[in-house]
Amino acid sequence: MVDVPYRLVRNLMVAAAVLYCSLLLEAAAGYPLDVHQSFLSELGALDQSTSLWARAMDLTTGVLLLVAVLLSGRAVRGRRELAGLLVSTAAFALGTLFDALSPMDCAPSASDACGANGQSGTELMLHEVTSTIAGLGSIAMGVYAVLALRKAGWGGAWGRVVAVLAAGVAVTQAWLGLQTGSDVITGDDLDAPGILQRVSVLLVCLMLGSLLPALRQAYLDEHDVDRGARLGRSPGGVRAGSRAAAR
């Protein structure tokens, strides 16, 4: 992690985490949609008063994460888990960015007419594709974040907490994708699991904001242990054999 401009990338990811958390926009707007029956992406529908704000937040999130990925590229150095994390973050960023550029015409949960007649054609298909890319990217991010932290020795209690967050992202996003995908494949009416999606989005935001510090600590700890081993030291920093000699 030495080659990464740490503070800049950390700040980019924290800003992206805040902007992606459309739960904040939903609360500020006074919960214009039913949280049980709507997707957060409906806040960006063109018939909603929150549309401009929601799309601007997603667009900026995508741009900030892509910049963070580009700045972090040199840190991979043959580490497959970090390479996977960067690629999946880029996929999530691109999906989120293009999701903002392909909004729905109207919010299906707010209008029966919209649900029946207002969501068809190229725009809807494009929105579904970009949302799927973002969803798959977030699942892969969670998986690779856990793998990277595990590979580096977790990085203490904080690293384990972030690993739990990342695992939660992977599980809830996969659950969400399976539930909505099943409705699409079977041709049933799309039953938005609103609470599940909001929990999942919150986990994504928390992971984005906390992942880089956890990775940095984990890889610094790994570097210190490796260096101690090369110097003939135990992981605690005591030269091998010194304890026996002192007895």
pLDDT of 156 > 70? The answer is yes
Over the stretch 98-121, which tens digit does the pLDDT of each residue have?
999 988 888 888 877 775 554 556
Lowest mean pLDDT among 3-12, 53-62, 121-130: 121-130
Tell me what pLDDT residue 233 has.
42
CB of 18 within 8 A of CB of 206? no
pLDDT of 155 > 70? The answer is yes
- List, in order, residues 6 or more apart from 74 with CB less than 8 Å away: 3, 4
User: Can you tell me the mean pLDDT for 144-166?
Assistant: 94
Tell me what pLDDT residue 223 has.
58
Q: Give percent above pLDDT 70 in the chain.
A: 81
Tell me what pLDDT residue 243 has.
39
> Quick one: which of 208, 220, 225, 204 has its CA closest to 75?
220
H-assigned helices in 152-193: 156-186
User: Can you tell me the mean pLDDT for 217-241?
Assistant: 52
